[in-house]
Structure 1
Amino acid sequence: MGTIYDLAKITGFSITTVSKALNNYSDVSEKTKAKIVQAAADMGYLPNAHAQSLSTKRSWTIGVMFSEANEVGMMHPFFNAIIESFRKATEQQGYDLIFASRNLRNRDMSYLEHFQHRAVDGIVVICSDQMDKHVQELIQSSIPIVVVDMDSTDCSVVFSDNLSGGTLAVNHLYELGHRLIAHIAGDMTIDAGLARIEGYKQAMDRLALPIPDGYLINGGFFSVEEGKQAMQTLLALPKRPTAVFVAGDQMAIGAMEAIHEAGLQVPHDISVVGYDDIEMSKYVTPKLTTVRQDTERIGQHAAELLIEQIVNKKRVMTTDIIPVDLIVRQSTGPVKA
């Protein structure tokens, strides 16, 4: 790696001009700056990323923010898988990720101010809490943004076809002979939870199946414990369901625990369908039938949408709905005669 003196000699500019160009001074022309930056990169004087930043006026960083009511962030397998897919796709294009700390809420700085201070080129928000004022501030800003797992007309969004997912689950249980089908829903303030509820309701209506009182129950924010508590409530009904569609795999695991603790068997007494197809769903007993969200595709599409905006220097408002699949395992079976 050469010195600034070598760089001045190679380019024919003074040491002062070279120094100003490398530090992005405004009194150096763009043509001169580009020549010096390219020479610096060629001789290894500057790391390529730094050189690229100077020549393209990009930081080559993307901000990541989580906004969910239970604040599990990357601890949730679904969100973790999306971020991993997003990371791989963006790193292939030369970007690094900067994660916003929740400690910002205890400081006199908003997420927008934080990302502006870090000069990120774009932001991805993993969001189940559309009422979060920090999310809305980011959406209304001029920074390129993609929001995952939330519907909005004010920015680019990527989310699963949750309406179809609810329908797939109910149709599967109906084909197995079930008519008493309950739904443990995700929190009803969350887009994904609401869409899965609507898919459940529409499927029940098309199949001319009534929804008895108490069969649609709010399971909260997709945790194992909340799923267990919701299932205990269903088991206490005068006429318990023979099958349950649960809006998240972690809740479904909790629901199966409640069924087992009540001395019943899955699927012999009650069939259970989850949602997400997290890794653990393959290893619980019995293995969980679930609606699979394509986290690889969600992360990839989110990355593509965001980088397109960064490169074109233009925000885009588009809705990308990713198809879902039903994965049939051992937690569902024919209705007991």
Structure 2
Amino acid sequence: MVTIYDIAKKTGFSVTTVSKVLNNYSDVSEKTKKAIQAAVEEMDYLPNSHARTLTTKKSWTIGVVFVESLGIGVKHPFFNAVIESFRQYVEVEGYDLLFVSRNISNQRKSYLEHFRYRGVDGVVIVCSTYEDEQVKELMNDSIPTVVIDMSSDQSSVVYSDNYEGSKLAVQHLYDLGHRRIAHIAGHESTFAGEQRKKGFLQAVKALNLGLPNEYVVNGDYFSIEGGQKAMRSLLELEERPTAVYAAGDNLALGAINEIHEHNLRVPDDLSVVGFDDIELAKYTYPALTTIRQRTDQIGEESAKLLLKQIDCKDKYIGCIQVPVELIVRKSSGPVA
């Protein structure tokens, strides 16, 4: 088994210098770093985790909390894409991820108790609802945290510009000639749902569009079923909309399914715009016009914010709002 002493002998540097490079200290020249890193790769050196923990006073582990209301966890397309980007970034820095269960030795523990027990260096929370008390406990604690997809003044947060995304969606439909534009909203307890609805209402107001109360329908927790149910109520109106902006791609897909069930066509009879740009969006029929969330950037910015806190050994309150963009496909078209 290759040791740190073997690396030092091969490169001619001291054990201390090799240790500094392996633990990402900044007071080593780039030339020295490259030489030692080349030897590490050539000799297939793997650091002993216990020794590294003793040396750096870190566990080199980051806790992960998923809170989403559909009950599908990491299978959720948005959360999955974001956490994969996060993982790739922190993995390069030497960190592992710990996905929690609230049971330790058959005793039910809170997220915070679990992470204290495991000694994690920080926690990433993927959560869009304000209602989870255990998430609030984590955010209010001194442990370094970053929250994805929610706003807070108690923790570092990273989220998409939901408000601007809604304005882009409405403006796109308006430019196609639509004046009767409805909104299938996400659940009011979610940050994304709240912000996207606000952006929709502001856009409608700015464009002087009439908005009947029944044109804003609750789509619940961003599910396909929620989109179907909401679209059904819109199709039952005496004067139905010519276009629908849904607060999530799953809602939009559900809406399209319901439109087809009524023997209507998208976009000939109704245009539909979603939000997220999940992988499935470009493969549906018709391909979905949507607002793209930059999941790679969200994951990377979240990782940077958390690692900054871990390295400084201090909780940092910061906010990064990631831009979104309109992706035009086949589900939106000129008003009939």
The structural deviation recorded for 1:88 is 0.1
Within 5 Å, give how 1:1-337 maps onto structure 2.
Answer: 1=1, 47-101=47-101, 107-336=107-336
Report the Cα distance in structure 1 between the residues aligned to 2:235 and 2:139, rounded to whole angstroms: 42
Contact kept? 1:176, 1:333, Cα under 8 Å: yes
Report the Cα distance in structure 1 between the residues aligned to 2:72 and 2:102, rounded to whole angstroms: 11
Query: Could you report, residue by residue, the CA deviation over 1:168-213 in whole angstroms, capped at 9, with x for unpaired residues?
Result: 0000000000000000000011111000000000000000002112
Q: 1:329 to 1:103 in 2, by over 3 A?
A: farther
Structure 1, unpaired ranges of 5+: 8-41
Report the Cα distance in structure 2 between the residues aligned to 1:199 and 1:193, rounded to whole angstroms: 10
- 1:195 is matched by which residue type in structure 2? Q
Q: Tell me, what secondary structure is at the counterpart of 1:86? A: helix
Query: Could you report, residue by residue, the CA deviation over 1:75-125 in whole angstroms, capped at 9, with x for unpaired residues?
Result: 110000001000000001000000012657x94311101011111000000
Report the Cα distance in structure 2 between the residues aligned to 1:172 and 1:241, rounded to whole angstroms: 15
Report the Cα distance in structure 2 between the residues aligned to 1:279 and 1:47, rounded to whole angstroms: 37
Q: So what's the TM-score if we normalise by structure 1?
A: 0.85
Report the Cα distance in structure 1 between the residues aligned to 2:197 and 2:2, rounded to whole angstroms: 64
Report the Cα distance in structure 2 between the residues aligned to 1:98 and 1:245, rounded to whole angstroms: 37
1:29 alignment counterpart = none
Q: 1:44 to 1:89 in 2, by over 3 A?
A: closer
Query: How many residues align structurally?
Result: 300
Q: So what's the TM-score if we normalise by structure 2?
A: 0.85
Structure 2, unpaired ranges of 5+: 7-39
- 2:100 is matched by which residue type in structure 1? A
The structural deviation recorded for 1:52 is 1.8
The structural deviation recorded for 1:233 is 0.8
Report the Cα distance in structure 1 between the residues aligned to 2:2 and 2:45, rounded to whole angstroms: 6
Report the Cα distance in structure 1 between the residues aligned to 2:332 and 2:107, rounded to whole angstroms: 49
Q: Is the radius of gyration larger for structure 1 or structure 2?
A: 1
- 1:78 is matched by which residue type in structure 2? F
Q: 1:50 to 1:267 in 2, by over 3 A?
A: same
Report the Cα distance in structure 2 between the residues aligned to 1:45 and 1:166, rounded to whole angstroms: 50
Report the Cα distance in structure 2 between the residues aligned to 1:262 and 1:232, rounded to whole angstroms: 9
Query: Could you report, residue by residue, the CA deviation over 1:120-177 in whole angstroms, capped at 9, with x for unpaired residues?
Result: 0000000012121100110111110000000001110000000001100000000000
Report the Cα distance in structure 2 between the residues aligned to 1:102 and 1:187, rounded to whole angstroms: 26
Query: Alignment identity in percent?
Result: 55
Q: Tell me, what secondary structure is at the counterpart of 1:101? A: coil
Report the Cα distance in structure 2 between the residues aligned to 1:213 and 1:159, rounded to whole angstroms: 29
Report the Cα distance in structure 2 between the residues aligned to 1:315 and 1:167, rounded to whole angstroms: 34
Q: Tell me, what secondary structure is at the counterpart of 2:241? A: coil
Report the Cα distance in structure 1 between the residues aligned to 2:313 and 2:250, rounded to whole angstroms: 40
Report the Cα distance in structure 2 between the residues aligned to 1:255 and 1:45, rounded to whole angstroms: 54
